[in-house]
């Protein structure tokens, strides 16, 4: 059974095409998750709306607690890390991470960056081995295959790989760096462009992205479920 962790980071609460001023990235994540569940009803989903309920920003007490070995933490440190521990547990449990994220000012929404800072944790999602100075970081989520799907929306065009404005896009590259750092290396990207332009260009981009979402479901589902069946009992 496949487990999905579904994150929405858009500040817009609704879905484009359904709600007034709705979010395009939420529309894409909804399509992926509902499309997946329609094919595999027994698979499970954990949903976290970080756009509506932002994770806490890390601060000095968080840093002190996170970098104190678990055996030496004071009770207050466990309280400080409780939110982070829950988010890390959700991520570790996931086989597929679905992230809906608009491109805000060339990067990820602050709410998504707050989630990233909560889940990149020494001893939980990454370890450090000073005896190997050339490559001291050990990704702890590489113990089994996990997929990350980044579904984004952009105001302008040409921001994808190879595009004339690709150098200004720090959303997907940043997320890919973080996810690979902790061991999630199977990363898929689908984006809608022309959000500022609107009209037919936007409509065509949404249609293309939704076709890509459907194709990705069709591609991933057999591979993941076959892998599960092949695992030893």
Instruction: Tell whether residue 38 is among the known ligand binding residues.
Output: no
| Helix (H/G/I), strand (E/B), else coil: 153 | strand
| Helix (H/G/I), strand (E/B), else coil: 5 | strand
User: For residue 96, with 0-12 CB atoms within 10 Å meaning exposed, 13-18 middle and 19 or more buried, which class applies?
Assistant: buried
Instruction: Tell whether residue 157 is among the known ligand binding residues.
Output: no
Report phi then psi at 194, rounded to 5: 70, 25
| Helix (H/G/I), strand (E/B), else coil: 114 | helix
In angstroms, the Cα distances linking 188 to 34, 63, 97, 107, 195 are 18, 31, 10, 17, 21
Instruction: Tell whether residue 153 is among the known ligand binding residues.
Output: no
| Distance in angstroms (rounded) separating the CA atoms of residues 158 and 26 | 21
Instruction: Tell whether residue 190 is among the known ligand binding residues.
Output: no
Binding-site residues for FMN: 10, 23-25
Binding-site residues: 10, 23-25
């Amino acid at each position: 059974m496949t487990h999905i962790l579904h994150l929405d980071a858009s500040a817009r609460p609704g879905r484009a095409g359904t709600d007034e001023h709705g979010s395009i990235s939420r529309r894409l994540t909804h399509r992926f998750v509902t499309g997946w569940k329609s094919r595999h009803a027994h698979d499970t989903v954990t949903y976290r709306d970080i756009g509506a309920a932002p994770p806490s920003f890390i601060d000095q007490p968080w840093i002190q607690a996170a970098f104190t070995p678990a055996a030496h933490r004071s009770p207050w440190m466990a309280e400080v890390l409780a939110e982070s521990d829950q988010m890390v547990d959700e991520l570790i449990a996931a086989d597929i991470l679905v992230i809906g994220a608009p491109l805000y000012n060339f990067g990820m929404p602050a709410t998504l960056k707050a989630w990233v800072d909560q889940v990149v944790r020494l001893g939980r999602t990454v370890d450090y081995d000073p005896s190997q100075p050339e490559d001291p970081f050990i990704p702890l989520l590489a113990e089994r295959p996990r997929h990350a799907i980044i579904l984004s929306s952009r105001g302008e065009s040409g921001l994808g790989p190879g595009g004339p404005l690709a150098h200004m896009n720090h959303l997907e590259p940043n997320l890919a760096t973080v996810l690979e750092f902790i061991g999630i290396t199977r990363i898929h990207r689908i984006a809608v462009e022309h959000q500022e332009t609107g009209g037919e260009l936007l409509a065509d981009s949404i249609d293309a992205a939704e076709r890509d979402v459907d194709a990705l479901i069709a591609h991933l589902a057999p591979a993941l479920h076959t892998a599960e069946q092949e695992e030893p009992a």
